[in-house]
Amino acid sequence: MIWDKKYETMPRSELADLQGQRLRAIAEKVYDRVPFYKAKFDAHGVKPSDIRSIADIAALPFTTKDEMRDVYPYGLLACPLSDIIEIHTSSGTTGKPVVDAYTRADIDLWGESMARTLSMGGAGKDDILQNAYGYGLFTGGLGAHYGAQRIGATCIPISGGNTKRQLDFLRDFGSTALTCTPSYSLYIAEAGREEGIDFEKLPLKRGFFGAEPWSDNMRAEIEEKLKIKAYDIFGLTEIIGPGVAAECECQNLLHVFEDYYYPEIINPDTGAVLPEGEKGELVFTTLTKEGTPLIRYRTRDITYITRDPCPCGRTHVKMHRLLGRTDDMLIIRGVNVFPSQVEQVLVKAEGVEPHYQLIVDRRDNMDCLEVQVEMTENLFSDELKYIEQKEKEIEHQLKESLLVHSRVKLVEPKSIARSEGKAKRIVDKRNI
């Protein structure tokens, strides 16, 4: 079902006019109200009045994650703080997180975006939606929640984890839709099989999975094991959370809600806008957001876009599922992790050298992270008991910083291969 027929199927020329008007309005707003943007526009020699159509977007400067962190926490607000009703922040960077601050209208926008997303996979008023995305600062939980309420579904805010209870609820409440990370859906499937649950007999029909990379192979596995249709949904905290792009019933590429979030693909080295079909870095401009609007935000996600017509009738541009990142960000059980975060903890820890490697694997459909770190000669000559205690200590410190559990293994001095160029910090054994 198409949730918002007028906008989702708008003829492309009309859509471009609307985008042009919205871009001009948002450029004026940030120029007038956000000193950060005024300075950037001025330094770039561009004025909001230069924007006459959506094509003029290329004249505007980019915004990066580092710049956002520099003006933490409120430097990007385009409205009085008293108009903000909710705040989320992204995890996964060293130092300060980036902030998304929502006005009432932004929360409505988010609800609409997620209503479109859920409707694309056929969810509606009669659905019982078991929302197993984490609630809290992470945008998955509340984003899916607002969307479920907007379409009038019955939302069960079970949040992530406690798999036994997830299975009980699937059975007892007759959930028809599931929202969680794709890897967690497989974990639930496996745990259910071990408990002897026959998913064929459960009313579960559809799932909306995102927040981490997955593949068509994984989709086939999820659909087969849970006996459902599985849809890819995409988004990021900085832009709004989930609800930026999603697969329609064709399950082939994700429609970007481009009347709200305008996508471009650029060459990450030169910043040049790339033509349709070419792979590059995904950039978004929020065309209607009030609290923290963003101009040409560089996501560091790699994909391509196409405007080929879609059989579903929606006219919005489509993006391929993500093809990678321009940086070294890992997503472990839905949580964004940078090797630099690990390093920051290790340099402060006693008894270890800054020679380390992150080994990422997927066992029983769960990501696991092992951090191998070299011990100092001193620690190496110590008792085993003491070394084990040190491992636990660092594990604890890493959990505080990464928000995800890792196993720390202290290894012999000089046992991690040295490199003459860039150190190889990540060994990703996951076969997604």
User: Where along the sequence are the contacts to ligand DLL (CB under 6 A)?
Assistant: 90, 133, 139-140, 210-213, 232-237, 241-242, 299, 301, 321-322, 331, 336
Please tell me the distance from the alpha carbon of residue 21 to that of residue 44, in angstroms, as a whole number: 21
Please tell me the distance from the alpha carbon of residue 226 to that of residue 207, in angstroms, as a whole number: 9
Please tell me the distance from the alpha carbon of residue 428 to that of residue 432, in angstroms, as a whole number: 10
Task: Return the number of the residue (120 or 416) whose C-beta is nearest ligand DLL.
Answer: 120
Q: Which residue is nearest to ligand DLL (CB)?
A: 210
Task: Return the number of the residue (87 or 387) whose C-beta is nearest ligand DLL.
Answer: 87
End-to-end CA distance of the chain: 30
Tell the smallest beta-carbon distance from residue 418 to ligand DLL (Å).
30
Task: Return the number of the residue (118 or 211) whose C-beta is nearest ligand DLL.
Answer: 211
Task: Return the number of the residue (327 or 377) whose C-beta is nearest ligand DLL.
Answer: 327
Tell the smallest beta-carbon distance from residue 234 to ligand DLL (Å).
4
Tell the smallest beta-carbon distance from residue 419 to ligand DLL (Å).
26
Task: Return the number of the residue (328 or 393) whose C-beta is nearest ligand DLL.
Answer: 328
Tell the smallest beta-carbon distance from residue 218 to ligand DLL (Å).
11
Tell the smallest beta-carbon distance from residue 299 to ligand DLL (Å).
5
Tell the smallest beta-carbon distance from residue 410 to ligand DLL (Å).
30
Task: Return the number of the residue (20 or 263) whose C-beta is nearest ligand DLL.
Answer: 263
Task: Return the number of the residue (88 or 314) whose C-beta is nearest ligand DLL.
Answer: 88
Tell the smallest beta-carbon distance from residue 137 to ligand DLL (Å).
9
406: left (phi over 0), alpha (psi -120 to 50) or beta: beta
Task: Return the number of the residue (352 or 360) whose C-beta is nearest ligand DLL.
Answer: 360
User: Residue 14: how many CB atoms within 10 A of its CB?
Assistant: 12
Tell the smallest beta-carbon distance from residue 50 to ligand DLL (Å).
29
Tell the smallest beta-carbon distance from residue 263 to ligand DLL (Å).
13
Please tell me the distance from the alpha carbon of residue 112 to that of residue 289, in angstroms, as a whole number: 13
Sheet architecture: strand order including 324-325: 261-266, 280-286, 297-303, 324-325
Task: Return the number of the residue (181 or 356) whose C-beta is nearest ligand DLL.
Answer: 181
